[in-house]
């Protein structure tokens, strides 16, 4: 199964774009990339997912490299409420769709 | 309610006692998942329901753990003869169908085993 590598932590200034990298060099052609976040003491929250093409929704943008070995989650205008642990997940094509393998994630701190 | 509801939000129990944790998924969601998160650890998949059946129980740590779902809605996770290592936040999630990784999580039930 594909695994992901994320930085342990990163800081971002309020109002600026936050760019969260994720490496998934062993990803297979039919495996999706999912992003979730977990604000302290809350359950995880789905953000976005993609397969090959870049994706955008009201929360964020997901940029996937052409070789699919890495991706970047972009929060366009970070706010203090975006402080959370962000998880990049590659969903195994052989697992149940909702069986997600969460790693350690990236602790993002948005500062005023 | 609008979201996934879990109860109790906090449970403190003594080692060896049985506990039941309840999950009310979002109305109409057919898939339901249980995860747990131990202190300082990542989220760990436990079990998945599609309707009332559990096609994937691979994450249940031992035979002390069981879960059921009735009426395609409410689910109960039961832990028998609790141990201290069972202390964790137990999270329930639901999704509108099988072919999606977009899960809606509840706030979790924090279990402390003394």
SS3 B89: strand
Contact A98/B108, CB-based, under 8 Å? no
Q: What is the mean pLDDT of chain A?
A: 93
**Rounded to whole angstroms, how far apart are CA atoms B105 and B29?**
12
Give residue ranges of A with CB < 8 Å to any B CB. 32, 34, 41-46, 49, 87, 89, 91, 95-105
Residue B87 has pLDDT above 90, yes or no: yes
At A2 the pLDDT is: 54
Average pLDDT on B36-51 reads: 90
Task: State pLDDT tens for residues A65-95.
Answer: 999 999 999 999 999 999 999 999 998 777 7
Smallest CA-to-CA distance from B49 within B23, B63, B68, B35 is with: B68
Dihedral over Cα of B107, B108, B109, B113: its sign: negative
Average pLDDT on A6-13 reads: 96
Average pLDDT on B79-102 reads: 93
At B42 the pLDDT is: 82
Q: Model confidence at B1, in pLDDT bands (50, 70, 90)?
A: low
Contact A99/B43, CB-based, under 8 Å? no
A72-90 in b/e form (b: 16+ CB < 10 A) is ebbbeebeeebbbbbbbbb
At A21 the pLDDT is: 98
Task: State pLDDT tens for residues A18-35.
Answer: 999 999 999 988 899 999
Average pLDDT on B23-40 reads: 93
Average pLDDT on B20-33 reads: 95
The residue written with tokens 């109860």 in the block is B7
Chain B residues in contact with A43 by the CB 8 A cut-off are 4, 91, 93, 105-108
Candidates A43, A49, A95; nearest CB to B108: A43
Average pLDDT on B16-33 reads: 96
Give residue ranges of B with CB < 8 Å to any A CB. 4, 31, 33, 42-45, 48, 55-56, 59, 91, 93, 95, 98-108
Could you give the strand order of the β-sheet that contains B19-24, starting from the edge strand earlier in sequence? B5-7, B19-24, B75-79, B65-69
Residue A8 has pLDDT above 70, yes or no: yes
* Mode of pairing for the β-strands spanning B109-113 and B10-13: parallel
DSSP label at residue B10: E
At B84 the pLDDT is: 96
Q: What percent of chain B has pLDDT over 90?
A: 86
H helices, E strands: number in chain A: 0, 9
Contact A43/B91, CB-based, under 8 Å? yes
SS3 B85: helix
Average pLDDT on A62-67 reads: 96
**Rounded to whole angstroms, how far apart are CA atoms A5 and A74?**
17
At A29 the pLDDT is: 85
Residue B47 has pLDDT above 70, yes or no: yes
Residue B19 has pLDDT above 60, yes or no: yes
Q: How far is A67 from chain B (nearest CA, A)?
A: 22
Average pLDDT on A43-54 reads: 94
Smallest CA-to-CA distance from A49 within A34, A64, A61 is with: A34
Residue B41 has pLDDT above 90, yes or no: no
């Amino acid at each position: 199964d594909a695994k992901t590598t994320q930085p342990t932590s990163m800081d971002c200034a309020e109002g600026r774009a936050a760019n969260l990298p994720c490496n998934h060099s062993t990803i297979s052609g039919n495996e999706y990339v999912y992003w979730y976040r977990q604000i302290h003491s809350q359950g995880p929250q789905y953000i976005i997912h993609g397969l090959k093409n870049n994706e955008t929704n009201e929360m964020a943008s997901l940029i996937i490299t052409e070789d699919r070995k890495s991706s970047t989650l972009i929060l366009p205008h970070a706010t203090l409420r975006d402080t959370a642990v962000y998880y990049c997940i590659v969903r195994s094509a052989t697992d149940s769709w909702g069986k997600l393998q969460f790693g350690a994630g990236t602790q993002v701190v948005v500062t005023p | 309610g609008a979201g996934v509801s879990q109860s109790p939000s906090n449970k403190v129990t003594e080692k060896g006692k049985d506990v039941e944790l309840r999950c009310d998924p979002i109305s109409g969601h057919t898939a339901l998942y249980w995860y747990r998160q131990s202190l300082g650890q990542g989220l760990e998949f436990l079990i998945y329901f599609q309707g009332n059946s559990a096609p994937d129980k691979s994450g249940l740590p031992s035979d002390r753990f069981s879960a059921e779902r009735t009426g395609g809605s409410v689910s109960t996770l039961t832990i028998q003869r609790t141990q201290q290592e069972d202390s964790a936040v137990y999270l329930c999630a639901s999704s509108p169908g099988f072919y999606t990784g977009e899960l809606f999580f509840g706030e979790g039930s924090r279990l402390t085993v003394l």
